[in-house]
């Protein structure tokens, strides 16, 4: 019985996801320069011919992964900019980060991929885009913290410095998770938001 167009599309998407997952793991663990198309195909369990049907070059695959990560940050920025519950919004995000870093590798891979892309790319426009989205994220987070301070729900202090500390902590944990692998132990959830919390209160 021939497959339906829907079945073919599901197969195509499944293969594409396998390629992306394999590439993400290899780019993060052994570096972009040390990863070639054959490595990615082997990791995904497919032929190089099938991989080339989905991506013409390794660069195209790498850029798509970075764009996916950036789109996730753009969504987070909008969420922070439109929230009227700053303390609750930061707590929800911290919970997501804690669960992602505790139970899987996806978030860590995405964060490290963007860092890697910033230092490995030779395109000034691409670097500028990465720098801008991180600047926008820190600014949106700082404004959210200021809103929470005005509501009396968050600790007083320099909001931009708090935002930098918060995301630096997340980035550092992602790096430690990749380096230590099974020896990594995720710190308690409460430590993630300690920088924002008022004394005697928890988010």
Quick: pLDDT tens for 41-58: 999 999 999 999 999 998
Q: What is the pLDDT of residues 71-100, one digit of tens each?
A: 989 999 999 999 999 999 999 999 999 998
Domain architecture of the chain: domains with CATH:
1-56 (1.10.10.60), 58-203 (1.10.357.10)
pLDDT, residue 109, reads 82
User: How would residue 1 be classed by pLDDT, with cut points 50, 70 and 90?
Assistant: low
Neighbouring residues of 70: CB distance < 8 A, sequence distance ≥ 6: 114, 129, 130, 133
pLDDT higher than 80, residue 36: yes
pLDDT, residue 107, reads 78
**CA 172 – CA 154 distance, rounded (Å):** 23
CA-atom Rg of the chain in angstroms: 20
pLDDT, residue 66, reads 86
Identify the residue whose tokens are 């005005």: 150
Percent of the chain's residues with pLDDT above 90? 48
Mean per-residue pLDDT of the chain: 88
Angle at 64 between CA 59 and CA 66, to 5 degrees: 95
pLDDT, residue 2, reads 61
Q: What is the pLDDT of residues 113-139, one digit of tens each?
A: 888 777 776 556 678 888 899 999 999
């Amino acid at each position: 019985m021939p497959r339906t167009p829907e079945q073919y599309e599901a197969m195509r998407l499944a293969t594409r996801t396998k390629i992306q997952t394999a590439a993400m793991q290899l780019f993060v663990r052994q570096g972009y320069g040390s990863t070639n198309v054959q490595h990615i195909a082997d990791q995904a369990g497919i032929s190089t011919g099938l991989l080339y049907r989905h991506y013409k070059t390794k660069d195209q695959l790498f850029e798509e992964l970075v764009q996916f990560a950036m789109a996730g940050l753009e969504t987070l920025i909008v969420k922070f900019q439109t929230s009227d519950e700053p303390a609750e919004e930061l707590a929800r995000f911290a919970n997501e980060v804690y669960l992602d870093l505790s139970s899987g590798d996806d978030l860590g891979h995405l964060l490290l991929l963007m860092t890697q892309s910033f230092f490995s790319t030779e395109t000034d426009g691409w670097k500028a885009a990465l720098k801008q989205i991180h600047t926008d994220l820190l600014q949106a987070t700082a404004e959210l913290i200021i809103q929470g301070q005005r509501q009396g729900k968050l600790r007083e202090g320099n909001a931009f410095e708090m935002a930098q500390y918060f995301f630096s902590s997340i980035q550092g944990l992602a790096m430690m998770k990749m380096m230590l692998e099974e020896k990594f132990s995720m710190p308690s959830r409460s430590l993630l938001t300690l920088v924002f919390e008022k004394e005697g209160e928890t988010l």
